Each structure stands twice: as structure tokens, then as C-alpha cells.
């Protein structure tokens, strides 16, 4: 099988690429390891069942006719092909003229661990949810970034009902270290109001069977430990021989073209643009490539894109949120909660507009 455009990954970058190529009538194939996209921005809500399961996913096999459910096992750019394995266990070689790598992120677990749960996708969210309601008494969330704070907040929302002790740990002096100070303080206050203990300024050394060992030698114990501390690009990128940055992201030019292979483009969390690994950046990159890829490969002139960070909205439980618009404007309260809900719905428009 050979396609003009092969898109690896059905996430925030890959889906907009495929949708725009479909609109232009291009010959393409999008490959994803499941028939749906997990809307990772909604993972904390899926963990606790705060939203319906079907609201946390987007069915790809009904959105695209040219869709293959298979796991990418290897990218072989020197031979213009990829190896994939279908759900029946059969391996296939897919040839391409041009490839878009949008395989997303994976947990960057850089310390000794055993029995650690990761908030990564729909199945992992369901597994954590199952355990939460299985007579657990205590949970530790490792990582005070966006996902960690929202996960701890959602579990904290349930804590008074199911008798859970929830602890959030972060190595930086404050949670949400990339946001302005007033947003950090408001998020901490909201977590504490839900009964979540917030520990900052302590780096984790290891996590083994619910025992978190800090660099200073102190330990805390819980029935379950959840990892939300760090991510990196899919290891398949580095294994394929691409030049990568410290997070395993392929180095690209201003048009997201690989610096190593001129017929390979990279988008989202696999693209080494120097920007944060955020869904909003991935969507912008996907929309750019989906619109302009046919022109780029024909050698036509295309305006250099600017992928802009537009800020973050972090929900803490159901009744509190903090928002940072751009680099300076911050606010919280019901307006931030409303904005968070609207952003969740906006993605379905972003695919098409």
C-alpha cells in the first residue's frame, strides 16, 4: 500500500491535518492505534467520571474514510515507509510520498518506579477510575503542572464522598510553575479547599508501590501513586534516526519540515519548535500543515506560520478555575470555569474551521 500523504497519529495535530487534506480531495491515510482520539485536555474529568465517557473521545473511524486502526511500530524514513501492526496482530508496511509525524507525547518517567499509574489516555483514565472506587484510602499525584493540578482537583472533589486522602507533590517552589504567581496561589487555595494536601519544593527520587521517596530522604505513602510530572515526544521519533532535542522532538524548519528528510513533516508534541507541548500549539500546527501541505510539496510559496501561545485555563474541581491569557492577564472564579468549558468544546470547531 502506498499513499501520497501518510499521517501518523490521530491527536490534536494529526486530526486537523487529515481533515483539511480530506476537504481538498488529497490522497491520504491517517493511522492511529485506536479508533478514537482521546481528548487529553479532558483526561482529569474522565478519571473521576465527571463527564460521560463518549464526551472525552472523538471517533476517527467515522470522521475519516481513509483511516487505519493500527499501532505504529517503526518509522523508516530512508525507505519512505512505516511499519504498523493491526488489532489482529498482523504487521503491515505502508509506503508514502510524504509523511506527517504527529504521534504525540508519552510519559517521561526518569526515576525508579514500580506500580505507578500514568494519566495518558482513555484506557488509563478508566483504570485509575476503577481503582479510585475500589476502597482506596489515599492517593498521591506526582506533578503540579496542568494535568497534575486538574487531576488532584477532580479526585479531591470526590474525596469527601469516598473517604480519600489526596496529596499533590511538586518539585518547584509552587504549583503551575509556568503561570503567573497570583494564578499559582489561587490554584493552591482552591485545591486546599477541596481537602488536597499540596507539597511543593520537594523533588521526587523514586516511586515504588505507592511509596514516594524525596531527594531529601523523606517518604510519604499512599494506596495509589499517579504520575503527571513530565512528558516527552514518542520514542519512535528518536529511534527512527531523526535529529532531536532534549525531549526527543524532531528538529524542524519554520514550515515544520524535518531537517533530516525533506519529505517528512512533524507536528504537535513531536515537533522540536522550542515551544511548550500544548494541545493549542498542536492544533495550530495541524491546521497549518493540513491547509498548506499540498502547496509546500509543490514548492509554492507559503507564508511563514506563527504558532502562538494563547494562555491556559486550569480547572480545580468543578467550581474553581484559574486562567492566564497571554503572559500577563490572569483571573479566576466562575468566568474562568466557563472559559474552560468553552475551550473544551472549541476543539470540535477547530478541526473544521
Residues 195 and 293 grouped into a single domain: no
Strand partners, 58: 37
Residues 151 and 176 grouped into a single domain: yes
Number of domains, the chain: 2
Residues 144 and 248 grouped into a single domain: no
Question: Residues near 43 by Cβ (< 8 Å), separated by ≥ 6?
Answer: 56, 119, 120, 121, 125, 147, 151
Residues 53 and 46 sit within 8 Å (Cβ to Cβ): yes
pLDDT (0 to 100) of residue 80: 98
- Which of 65, 66, 18, 14 lies closest to 37 in space, CA to CA? 14
Three cell numbers written together for 332: 479566576
Strand partners, 98: 5
Residues 351 and 39 sit within 8 Å (Cβ to Cβ): no
Residues 99 and 236 grouped into a single domain: yes
Residues 37 and 10 sit within 8 Å (Cβ to Cβ): yes
Residues 215 and 289 grouped into a single domain: no
Three-state secondary-structure class, residue 284: helix
Residues 168 and 216 grouped into a single domain: yes
Query: Domain of 134: which CATH number?
Result: 3.50.50.60
pLDDT (0 to 100) of residue 160: 81
Which residues form the domain of 76?
A: 2-106+231-297
Residues 169 and 150 grouped into a single domain: yes
Helix (H) or strand (E) holding 220: strand 219-221
DSSP 55: G
- What is the value of pTM for the model shown? 0.92
Domain's final residue, options 249, 279, 297: 297
Residues 81 and 132 grouped into a single domain: no
* CA 16, chain centre distance (Å): 15
Q: How far apart are CA 175 and CA 177, in angstroms?
A: 5
Burial grade of 320 (CB within 10 A; 0-12, 13-18, 19 or more): buried
Paired sense of beta strands 271-272 and 250-251, if any: parallel
pLDDT (0 to 100) of residue 229: 84
The count of C-alpha atoms lying within 13 angstroms of the C-alpha of 350, restricted to the half-sphere facing its C-beta, is: 23
Residues 69 and 170 grouped into a single domain: no
Domain's final residue, options 229, 264, 288: 229
Residues 216 and 241 grouped into a single domain: no
Helices (H), 243-333: 279-297
Residues 92 and 134 grouped into a single domain: no
DSSP 78: G
pLDDT (0 to 100) of residue 297: 95
Q: Collect the ranges in the chain with pLDDT lower than 70.
A: 326-329, 331, 344-346, 348-349, 352-353
Domain's final residue, options 252, 282, 297: 297
Q: Could you give phi then psi for residue 55, rounded to 5 degrees? A: -80, -10
Residues 99 and 74 sit within 8 Å (Cβ to Cβ): no
Q: How far apart are CA 349 and CA 353, in angstroms?
A: 6
Examine residue 284 and state whether it is found in any structural domain, yes or no: yes
pLDDT (0 to 100) of residue 328: 62
Amino acid at each position: 500500500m502506498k499513499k501520497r500523504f501518510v499521517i501518523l497519529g490521530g491527536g490534536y495535530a494529526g486530526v486537523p491535518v487529515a481533515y483539511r487534506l480530506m476537504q481538498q480531495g488529497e490522497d491520504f491515510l491517517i493511522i492511529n492505534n485506536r479508533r478514537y482520539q482521546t481528548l487529553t485536555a479532558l483526561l482529569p474529568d474522565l478519571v473521576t467520571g465527571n463527564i460521560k465517557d463518549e464526551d472525552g473521545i472523538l471517533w476517527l473511524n467515522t470522521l475519516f474514510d481513509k483511516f487505519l486502526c493500527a499501532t505504529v511500530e517503526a518509522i523508516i524514513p530512508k525507505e519512505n515507509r512505516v511499519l504498523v501492526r493491526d488489532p489482529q496482530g498482523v504487521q503491515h508496511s505502508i509506503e508514502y510520498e510524504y509523511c506527517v509525524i504527529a504521534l504525540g507525547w508519552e510519559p517521561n518517567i526518569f526515576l525508579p518506579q514500580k506500580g505507578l499509574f500514568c494519566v495518558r489516555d482513555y484506557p488509563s483514565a478508566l483504570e485509575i477510575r476503577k481503582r479510585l472506587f475500589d476502597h482506596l484510602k489515599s492517593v498521591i499525584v506526582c506533578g503540579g503542572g496542568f494535568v497534575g493540578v486538574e487531576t488532584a482537583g477532580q479526585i479531591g472533589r470526590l474525596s469527601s464522598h469516598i473517604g480519600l486522602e489526596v496529596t499533590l507533590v511538586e518539585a518547584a517552589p509552587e504549583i503551575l510553575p509556568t503561570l503567573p504567581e497570583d494564578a499559582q496561589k489561587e490554584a493552591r487555595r482552591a485545591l486546599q479547599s477541596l481537602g488536597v494536601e499540596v507539597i511543593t519544593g520537594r523533588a521526587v527520587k523514586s516511586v515504588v508501590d505507592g511509596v514516594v521517596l524525596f531527594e531529601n530522604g523523606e517518604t510519604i505513602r499512599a494506596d495509589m501513586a499517579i504520575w503527571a510530572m513530565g512528558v516527552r515526544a514518542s520514542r519512535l521519533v528518536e529511534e527512527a534516526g531523526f535529529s532531536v532535542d532534549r525531549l526527543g522532538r524532531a528538529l524542524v524548519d519554520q514550515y515544520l519540515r524535518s531537517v533530516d528528510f525533506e519529505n517528512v513533516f512533524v507536528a504537535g508534541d513531536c515537533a522540536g519548535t522550542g515551544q511548550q507541548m500544548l494541545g493549542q500549539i498542536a492544533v495550530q500546527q495541524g491546521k497549518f500543515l493540513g491547509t498548506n501541505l499540498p502547496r509546500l510539496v509543490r514548492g509554492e510559496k507559503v507564508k511563514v506560520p506563527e504558532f502562538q501561545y494563547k494562555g491556559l485555563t486550569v480547572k480545580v474541581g468543578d467550581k474553581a478555575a484559574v486562567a492566564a491569557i497571554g503572559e500577563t492577564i490572569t483571573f479566576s472564579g466562575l468566568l474562568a470555569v466557563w472559559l474552560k468549558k468553552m475551550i473544551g468544546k472549541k476543539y470540535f470547531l477547530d478541526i473544521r474551521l
